Amino acid sequence: MISPWTQRWSAHGQVNRGGAGRLEVNSSSRRRRVASGTANSILLQEEKLVANQIVWVDIPVLDLDRAVRFYSAVLGAEVQKQESPRMTIALLPGADSGVSGCLFTKDDEKPSDRGMLVYLNAQGRLDEAISAVESSGGKVLQPKHQIGPYGFRAVVLDSEGNRVALHSM
């Protein structure tokens, strides 16, 4: 298993931790385990790294301020509004990490309780997130339940009518 540290830095090129059995990453798409202590390092294993398949999500909302309050309460972190000449959006936490999303309003895009289900990371505080749903204008559609070895989720309607999953290990 690749540590989150290695995943994050492997995208930037070389990762090299010294010592026998060190992990060396020489590109953004491969990792190698090498044995040291010999004149030449011996390649033990080479595996392809998998990048995040979901990198961004646009969540349509009807009332941006109401949605900012809902997602800030449920995610337990500030959702920040960002204005530009074309439109105002609100960035979900972690936007600088490359995997996140935003809330936005647009006349021809509306919230929906059908279609794709986006999983939002509750960061180990799933119970607190679920308890903030209804008091923040949402509705719990499926209470917390285990999803096999992949952790737990609850499916909720946000304050705008979008169906989202809150997830935690």
69-97 pLDDT, tens digit each: 999 999 999 999 999 888 899 999 987 88
Note whether 162 and 93 are same-domain residues. yes
CA dihedral 125, 53, 136, 70 (to 10 degrees): 110
**Structural domain count of the chain:** 2
Asked whether the whole model's pTM tops 0.75, one would answer: no
Instruction: Inform me whether the pLDDT recorded for 121 exceeds 80.
Output: yes
Note whether 140 and 159 are same-domain residues. yes
- Across 105-114, average pLDDT: 91
Instruction: Inform me whether the pLDDT recorded for 25 exceeds 60.
Output: no
Quote the domain boundaries for residue 31.
Answer: 4-48
Note whether 92 and 112 are same-domain residues. yes
What is the spatial distance between Cα 145 and Cα 167, in angstroms, rounded to a whole number? 10
Q: In the chain, what is the greatest distance between 2 CA atoms, to the nearest angstrom?
A: 66
Q: Which residues contact 69 (CB under 8 A, 6 or more apart)?
A: 136, 137, 159
